Amino acid sequence: MTAQELKFLLDKYKQNTITPDDKNRLFDAIDSGEHDELLSADILQSLRSDVPSAGWENEDHSAILDAIFQADQPEILTVVKNKRRFYLYAAAAVTAGIILTTSLLYRKDPEQAPTLVKTQVLAPGSTKAMLTLADGTQIPLDSAANGTLAQQGNTQISNKNGKLSYQANGGNEVMYNTVTTPHGGQYQLTLADGSKVWLNAASSIRFPTAFTGKERQVSITGEAYFEIVQQSNQPFSVQVKAAEKDMTVKVLGTSFNIMAYADEKAVKTALIEGAVQVEHGSQKNVLKPGLEASLTDNTFAIAPADLEQTLAWKDGKFRFRSTNIKTIMRQLSRWYDMEVAYNGDVSDIDLTGVISRREDAGKLLKALEATQRVHFEVNGHNVTVSPATSH
């Protein structure tokens, strides 16, 4: 088959206008491995085109192609167990945002076809949260108009384009507010000292409306990223609580991420720049940039941080590196507000990949299923995860 003929059939394949005979010819040509260069160019074009974005950055394109054409690597999200180029191409097409019907993902032998999730719209999360004032009044931030929301003592609270800010105007009156994000929500706020906080889904932060004492102190649950304004005469600290694990993070001026979900095994603090001291009981450890402290079973473990993976949520992505499917599903459940159950042993299913948090869950689950290692059953907001059936 000539390159021109293959390109013609690929176009018909993606438009779902290909005939059964031409589809079989296309599958045979792809399976032969003789046109890998053309397929690489076609996939790159898909990744860079104006089809619905899957969130791949330019620097990810070469890694995706390496994954597609090195089928012996088990970790990559778009890699399947067998070496048939057709399935690799189909998986890449799905993750690139090309809309494929179920019929397009079947080869001559139906039993070899990868499983697909049923069509189900599970929309991604959005910018939304709940502000609780000192007197218990609650203001939904997803529907709040721009402008001044409330006055707390001498501090004015404003909302602009999904970002909450506190402007202290003197005085010593201190009140405490709480911002809480639901499953499927995230929010950004600026504290009275100018420090910025990003809240991930299913998280909260409690903070004073003005910092008047010898130190600045807030408390969080869930996950938050901080950019702290340096004030040497008024150190900043974060109280962290997750189930039975508690920790204090003391800082001067720095950027760091804290992950403290109750359903995770460890409370983690990753330092981007500056310096922090993590404390638990009598244990104290000072972190340098690029390090992460994990609190598990009342003991700290200090190790190099994978900052790309740690901060992926803030950058609008899911990024996995040999990540177990249960850890993946905990992240997805918070962002897509889904209930997850398991059927069978999935303890050995570890996946690697990067996907936009802007995609609906159906597209993401299809990309995960394309690995032929995992299968999903979707019923409303309930998702059952099981190992894929071997072919």
**What's the CA gap between 222 and 206, in Å, rounded?**
12
pTM of the predicted model, to two decimals? 0.69
- Is the pLDDT assigned to residue 75 strictly greater than 60? no
Based on C-alpha coordinates, what's the Rg of the chain?
Answer: 24
Residue 226 has pLDDT above 60, yes or no: yes
Q: Could you give the CA distance from residue 383 to residue 374 in angstroms, rounded to a whole number?
A: 12
Would the pLDDT of 33 be above 90?
no
Confidence of residue 183 (pLDDT cuts 50, 70, 90): very high
1-122+315-391 CATH: 3.55.50.30
Instruction: Name 64's Cβ contacts closer than 8 Å, sequence gap at least 6.
Output: 43, 47, 56, 78, 92, 95
The C-alpha atoms of residue 224 and residue 237 are separated, in whole angstroms, by 13
Domain edges within the chain: 1-122+315-391, 126-310
**What's the average model confidence in pLDDT over 6-35?**
71
More confidently predicted of 19 and 372: 372
Report residue 187's pLDDT band, with 50, 70 and 90 as the boundaries.
Answer: very high
- Give the per-residue pLDDT at 96: 43
CATH topology of domain 126-310: Jelly Rolls (2.60.120)
Give residue 77's pLDDT: 44
Cα-to-chain-centroid distance, residue 339:
17
pLDDT band at 28 (very low <50, low <70, confident <90, very high): confident
Predicted confidence at residue 160, as pLDDT, reads 84
